[in-house]
Structure 1
Amino acid sequence: MKQQILVVDDHSDIRELIGRYLKQQDYEVSLAENGEQMKELLAKDSIDLIIMDLMMPGDDGLTLCREVRHDSNIPIIILSALGEDTDKIVGLEVGADDYLAKPFNPRELLARVRAVLRRHQQPASAPTDNKNSKFIYFDRWEFDLHKQQLVRDDGVVVSLSTGEFRLLKVFVQQPHVIFSRDQLLDMTQGRQAAPFDRSIDNQISRLRRKIEIDPKTPSLIKTVWGGGYSFNTDVQHP
């Protein structure tokens, strides 16, 4: 079955150019010129990946990325004519999986698409002999490995992106261990098409906002200066 990609861009020439090229590469492609059309297609189609322009009238790419990430873990690649590092970082912080500056070579976009889909489809959790290991507990959280989400002790449910899930899984499997950024990249992404040196820092920032009481002074995911990060709490595996 062909994988389906949704291209969201208000420029029809770019949107249709990307669509034609991806169809030639044996993908199913849906096209949307704004957030409203994107939401309609997401509601009726099974989308495997979204390619989204950053600057659009109405809801821009960052706003739409936040909304998509709030409801699902569909991987997102952001496109933008803005090439500043701050724009790339913001895009990753709101939940994008990759960022590509315009103008770009279609072959590079294809490589990014394949890499993001490959990462997203890799099993997020290794098989285990423990049939009761669906849940892991730490601090005030229940970590559901099957549903890829967290449940707080007051019943609040928090969804995780694929990257956040893999990162948290590394931490809960080895609490109190100091990991360098390179180690975390290797363990969560296998260094496949990691476009930015700060990608792990951005995932850490997003994960802290979801699990920490005060993300500005984190108590669970600690920064080890000169070393990397460690998960600073005890973990219970049923």
Structure 2
Amino acid sequence: MCAHVLVAEDDTMQAELIRRSLLAEGHTATVVHDGSAALEAVRRDRPDLVVLDLMLPLVDGLGVCRVLRRDDDIPVLMLTARAAEEDVLLGLELGADDYMTKPYSPRELMARIRTVLRRSGRTGGAAGPERADDPVVRAAGIAVDPERHEVRCDGRPVECTPAEFQILLALAGEPDRVFSRRRLLQCARGLDRSSTERAVDVHIMNLRRKIEADPRRPTRLLTVFGVGYKLSGTRP
């Protein structure tokens, strides 16, 4: 299924290359060159995914991402020429679902876009494991529905990015099992040369803000020091 992708990139040559690659993949694309235009295009066009350059004029990529996560759950793939880990982690903390550092190959970018769209459920494919009777995975008061791409905590809806959703789905599917950061990185988006295991820590931190009564003293999403993380099998 084709998706509509918003490309926010101030480098016109890069933007055109991305646009052509998207069209070759069967998607449609809107291209803008500054952050203000990106926010207006999101409101107007309701894209399925935003490819967002970090260094945009008027409103930078981090500012755009901050507004998007406050108002919407559209998946965001961040592009950055700043390879500093702090920039990448800040983007993930703001809710970016994936990132790529420049320079990158168009083929790899298209592969990443396919992965984010599939995880977000915006291409018609169900994410995560399916069960013949009940697809909902439950643990510790958390219910993760891979068919509807919904999460509930003690009955209340919880908004998750696609990466957060996949991590939570994996943890809830095997409560009390300890997952290494490397394994959770695979669950979130697969391993590649630009991934860092610290990105998992950021996703876990964001999830704790959403499902824990006190994120500083978690009772559901627990750290196993020196190993990784697990979701408690019992309700707190």
TM-score tier after normalising by the smaller chain length:
0.7 to 0.9
Stretches of structure 2 lacking an aligned partner (at least 5 in a row): none
> Cα–Cα, structure 1 residues 120 and 135, in superposed 2: closer, same or farther, change >3 Å?
closer
Matches within 5 A, 1:108-123: 108-121=108-121, 122-123=125-126
State the match for 1:168 in structure 2.
Answer: 168
The letter of the residue matching 2:107 is R
> Cα–Cα, structure 1 residues 20 and 134, in superposed 2: closer, same or farther, change >3 Å?
closer
Cα distance per residue 1:165-192 (max 9 Å; x no partner): 2222222333222222233334454x36
State the match for 1:232 in structure 2.
Answer: 232
State the match for 1:213 in structure 2.
Answer: 213
* Cα pair 2:7 2:50 within 8 Å, conserved: yes
Identical-pair percentage = 34
Partner-residue secondary structure (3-state), 1:226: coil
> Cα–Cα, structure 1 residues 152 and 56, in superposed 2: closer, same or farther, change >3 Å?
farther
State the match for 1:124 in structure 2.
Answer: 127
> Cα–Cα, structure 1 residues 212 and 31, in superposed 2: closer, same or farther, change >3 Å?
same
Partner-residue secondary structure (3-state), 1:86: helix
Provide the rounded CA distance (Å) in 1 between the counterparts of 2:96 and 2:50: 10
State the match for 1:83 in structure 2.
Answer: 83
State the match for 1:15 in structure 2.
Answer: 15
TM-score, normalised with respect to structure 2: 0.79
Matched, 1:197 2:196: yes
TM-score, normalised with respect to structure 1: 0.79
> Cα–Cα, structure 1 residues 171 and 106, in superposed 2: closer, same or farther, change >3 Å?
closer
Number of aligned residue pairs: 230
* Cα pair 2:118 2:126 within 8 Å, conserved: no
* Cα pair 1:5 1:51 within 8 Å, conserved: yes
* Cα pair 1:124 1:165 within 8 Å, conserved: no
Stretches (4+) displaced over 6 A = none
Offset of residue 228 of structure 1: 0.9
The letter of the residue matching 2:130 is P
The letter of the residue matching 1:149 is V
State the match for 2:3 in structure 1.
Answer: 3
Offset of residue 68 of structure 1: 2.1
Provide the rounded CA distance (Å) in 1 between the counterparts of 2:227 and 2:114: 32
State the match for 1:54 in structure 2.
Answer: 54
